[in-house]
Amino acid sequence: MLWHLLQPKVTCICVFSSICVFFFPFFAGGGQNKRLCHACIYIYIYIGSVQGGGGEVAMIKSYFDLFDILVNEETVPVTFLVSSFSLGRDIHARTTDGEALEEVRAGSVATVPLWAAVALRQEGYLVPQVPSRYTTSVFREFKTDPLAVSLHKKSPYYYEAGLLLCAMLPINEGNRLAAQLFRLYQLRYLKVIHAASKKGFDLSDVREKLCESERELLDALIGGLEEERQWHHSAF
């Protein structure tokens, strides 16, 4: 029963994803940096779901893509709209007061992975809630120094999981969170680029605070700078 409820839906993003993965290496310096385009793919997913008037939210695009699988394993709090006696063994439901329940009831809450939240939300079984790591107070932590706070500790896949969550939220709330994610993305990536361009700058502390896509960007920048240095050395 649970597998039937959570069976993945086929979405139209496969073509877009393939295009990004094909063309990105030409701009990022090689196939090892393909995953840097994931944030763009998830932005496309979110925009498409909003503009499409509540279309299906994309789930895992490829079961051979470890990055995508790990993104969808990120957890999100949810509130169930209906009772479901078939989910009690798989989901640890509780009341809003924190009392554990043996079965899922209407109004009960739980924490589930994104892949489960997407499927159950599409079937009308639950509504997702915004996790504490995506609240406005958290985004304020990055205002003074965008790299001062460790985004990796909050979530290794902060942007990608956040944008999947945006597509499941009401439009106004989803738009707000998407705008906050985009602004944070801009601020931190600019800082990452500046840090990587400084000669002799110790990047170990910076790297520990980066989420996975930011680390990919940093590695791509460092690799590109090294290739440029070697080319310049060989040419002159």
Rounded-to-integer distance, Cα 121 and Cα 184, Å: 27
What per-residue confidence (pLDDT) applies to 22?
Answer: 35
- What interhelical angle do 13-28 and 38-51 show, nearest 10? 150
pLDDT in tens, 37-57: 444 444 444 444 444 444 445
- 67 HSE (CA, 13 A, CB side): 18
Ramachandran region of residue 108, left (φ > 0), alpha (ψ -120 to 50) or beta?
beta
Domain boundaries, the chain: 74-128, 129-220
Tokens of 35: 């995953």
Rounded-to-integer distance, Cα 28 and Cα 132, Å: 33
What per-residue confidence (pLDDT) applies to 20?
Answer: 39
What per-residue confidence (pLDDT) applies to 60?
Answer: 56
pLDDT in tens, 53-99: 444 455 555 667 788 889 999 999 999 999 887 776 788 899 989 89
What per-residue confidence (pLDDT) applies to 57?
Answer: 52
Provide the sign of the torsion angle of the four alpha carbons 99, 103, 107, 110, taken in this order.
positive
For the chain, give the DSSP string. Answer: -HHHHTPPPP-THHHHHHHHHHHHHHHHTSGGGGGGGHHHHHHHHHHHHHHTTS-PPP--S-TT-HHHHHHHTSEEEEEESS-BTTSTTTS--B-TT--B-SSB-TT-EEEEEHHHHHHHHHTTSEEE---GGGSHHHHHTTSS-TTTS-HHHH-TTHHHHHHHHHHHS-HHHHHHHHHHHHHHHHHHHHHHHHHHHSTT---HHHHHTS-HHHHHHHHHHHHHHHHHHHHHHHH-
Query: Which is nearest to 157 in space by CA: 205, 113, 98, 102?
Result: 113
pLDDT band at 152 (very low <50, low <70, confident <90, very high): very high
Of 117-121, 145-149, 159-163, 200-204, minimum mean pLDDT range: 200-204
Say which CATH class 129-220 falls into.
Answer: mainly alpha
Question: 113: which strand partners?
Answer: 75
Rounded-to-integer distance, Cα 74 and Cα 110, Å: 14
pLDDT in tens, 175-200: 999 999 999 999 998 888 887 777 66
235 or 137: which leads in pLDDT? 137
Provide the percentage of residues in the chain whose pLDDT is more than 90.
37
Rounded-to-integer distance, Cα 52 and Cα 62, Å: 23
| Average pLDDT value for residue range 150-164 | 95
Rounded-to-integer distance, Cα 227 and Cα 29, Å: 9
